[in-house]
Amino acid sequence: MKTNYHSHIALCRHAEGTSEEHIKKAIEHNFDIFGISDHAPLIKIGNIPSDRTFLHRMKLNELDDYISELQECKSKYKDKIQVLIGLETEYFESHHEYIKRLSNKVDYLIFGNHDFIYDGKTISSFSIKREHHVLEYAKNTIKAFKTGFYKFMSHPDLFLLGGEWNEVSERVAHIIAKASIEYDVPLELNANGIRRGTIKSPQGLRYHYPRKEFWDIVKTYNCKVIVNSDAHHFTEHNDAEFHEAHRLAAEWGLNTIKIL
């Protein structure tokens, strides 16, 4: 069984290709199940989230067309591949009802903790430097898992992109792994972090993510792990990085699943 539940199209303003182009390429690469999961549109409630978060996602008035196009592809290619309609979105408590409505429009939601709220401000997970922000990243993850809206969490080790592995990082890894088990939300080992290349760390040469130290902790809890491409171009569905992600999951002894 060959699956991928995490892919993006041009609608998010930082990927390429239409839904149909991605699906055709997925068929060419013999995927059995393929999900398009572009970044969900957001709405502003008060000052949340910041204007920056609206730059790299579809607009609200584009959502219906996104879903309709994918529904057409579902029908058109049903004899060749199972197409699923997804959205990747953050979780803000102020947006709980809005996100619930989104979850009812599509086959699945991915929790992407790209941004979270701390002291009324939107914090980017791509450049976390302060320990209290790292801990808030974990707290927001628990809040998201509790909703039951999300089928899995994308790149849970994203918080390490801007910082180093230390005692706080280890604590956060335990918090996320425990929550994954408690709320039965699988964690994603994400190939796009491999595409970002490696960095020198006190632990040696490492990918930004997936970060081995994080996944070593996940393994101790036997969390469900799903490997996805996080493709932003249809050439990335079946690339070397996607296969490397699968290889690492096997090498690290993770409890991988193929079907959500």
Q: Computed from CA positions of residues 125, 128, 132, 134, in that sequence, does the dihedral angle turn out positive or negative?
A: positive
Residue partners of 211: CB distance under 8 A and separation at least 6: 157, 160, 165
Handedness of CA 239, 240, 243, 249 (dihedral sign): negative
Q: pLDDT tens digits for 33-87?
A: 999 999 999 999 999 999 999 989 999 999 999 999 999 999 999 999 999 999 9
pTM over 0.75: yes
Distance of alpha carbon 232 from alpha carbon 229, whole angstroms: 9
CATH class belonging to 3-257: alpha beta
Residue ranges covered by each domain of the chain: 3-257
CB 38 within 8 A of CB 58: yes
**pLDDT tens-digit readout, 138-192:** 999 999 999 999 999 999 999 998 678 999 999 999 999 999 999 999 999 999 9
Round to whole Å and give the CA distance between 161 and 150: 23
